[in-house]
Amino acid sequence: MSEYKPPFHMTDRIINLVAAICEQIGRITVLSHGSLNPHLRRENRIKTIHSSLAIEHNSLSLEQVTAILDGKRILGNPNEIREVQNAYETYEMMLTLNPASVRALLKAHKMMMNSLILENGKFRSGGVGVFDGDVVVHMAPPAAFVPEQIQDLFDWYKASEMHPLIKSAVFHYEFEFIHPFADGNGRMGRMWHSMLLGKWNELFYWLPIEELIRTRQQEYYDALGKSDKQADSCTFVELMLKIILDTLSGTSVVGSAANTNTDKISVSVRKLLNALGDEELSTVELMERLRLSHKPTFRKNYLNPALEQELIEMAIPDKPNSRNQKYRKKQLSRFPIKKSD
């Protein structure tokens, strides 16, 4: 048995985030009676596929991805269309795959990268690096070490008594550090993270974590880079736990679970709520996270509808036009959980 142990140290913030996530899961479980409806599952799966591929520079819109998965023909790059089809087939296999199996990982990669690269379903045979423009930000270990390192990582995960929320994030970081494949490492790492969490709680099979990662893409890569330099994954773990908490706080999960009128919540408002998370943010900060530059559009399609539906509230309600104004979610107060006598 290998004595491999990923470099990682626990922080108070990680402990607090795990507690908050578990509380949110408890709320959703009560409100949803233990399951999410099929429509919500499909909607979240499509968001996951679109966001995970968008992170990898796939240019297809959410509407185009939805059309492809509905069997419709669209105009687009054939390789990008193939990426969508492959990702959907791979995610459909998710419930049948064993997340503790290296063989299952290779099977999933073969499907994910089918007809896209020659080495689909195989560990890479050459060296790879992670680039930020023309700058190398991470040089992965030599290809000869990959099979052993991946096996050690899987063995560590199975043996570790660390909380699944924490060790799945550590696994995610280590997976990206090893970079076991010639291509597809990002989408496979994010999918496997969800699978490991789904084994712990089924909700995570359907939670669109990738959608929020996409809105915080630079933070995601910065956390990977910082953890790499520090030889300690705690920074990355903290970010992933924060993203999970913010995703759980999104009304697309809680609202549907509570049988509220979430069908009336627009895609734009959902994006705003995901970008907001559980923070207080200004108009400028929200627009930056949403990658918007036109303030009237932001107010008309995002901010004002969210305020009108009482999904968010002003931090300074008595001074609505204050230049220090910020906004925060108020959806938790809409779904009080009554304690039994």
Catalytically annotated residue among 163, 179, 193, 294: 179
Active site residue 193: no
Model's pTM, two decimal places? 0.73
* Integer Cα distance of 225 and 64 in angstroms: 32
The confidence score (pLDDT) of residue 261 equals 43
Question: Which residue type is seen at 88?
Answer: Y
**Domain residue spans in the chain?**
12-257, 266-334
Q: Average model confidence (pLDDT) for the chain? A: 87
CATH number for the domain running over 12-257: 1.10.3290.10
Asked: is 266-334 a CATH 1.20.120 domain? The reply is no
The confidence score (pLDDT) of residue 265 equals 73
Instruction: Provide the strand spans (E) within 124-216.
Output: 129-132, 135-139
pLDDT tens, 252-275?
A: 444 443 334 444 578 888 889 888
Instruction: Provide the strand spans (E) within 133-274.
Output: 135-139
The confidence score (pLDDT) of residue 243 equals 94
The confidence score (pLDDT) of residue 91 equals 94
The confidence score (pLDDT) of residue 35 equals 59
The confidence score (pLDDT) of residue 34 equals 55
Residues 201, 205, 206, 209, Cα dihedral to 10°: 90
The confidence score (pLDDT) of residue 333 equals 36
* pLDDT tens series, the chain, 341 aa: 568 899 999 999 999 999 999 998 988 877 765 556 666 788 889 999 999 999 999 999 999 999 999 999 999 999 999 999 999 999 999 989 999 999 999 999 999 999 999 999 999 999 887 766 677 667 889 999 999 999 999 999 999 999 999 999 999 999 999 999 999 999 999 999 999 999 999 889 888 899 889 988 889 989 998 999 999 999 999 999 999 998 888 644 444 433 344 445 788 888 898 889 889 999 999 999 998 988 988 998 899 988 988 889 999 988 888 989 999 987 443 333 333 33
The confidence score (pLDDT) of residue 318 equals 85
* Integer Cα distance of 163 and 253 in angstroms: 23
* Integer Cα distance of 113 and 58 in angstroms: 14
Reduced to 3 states (helix: H, G, I; strand: E, B; else coil), residue 199 is: helix
The confidence score (pLDDT) of residue 43 equals 86
Binding residues for ATP: 183-190, 220-221
Nearby residues of 293 by Cβ (< 8 Å), 6 or more positions away: 287
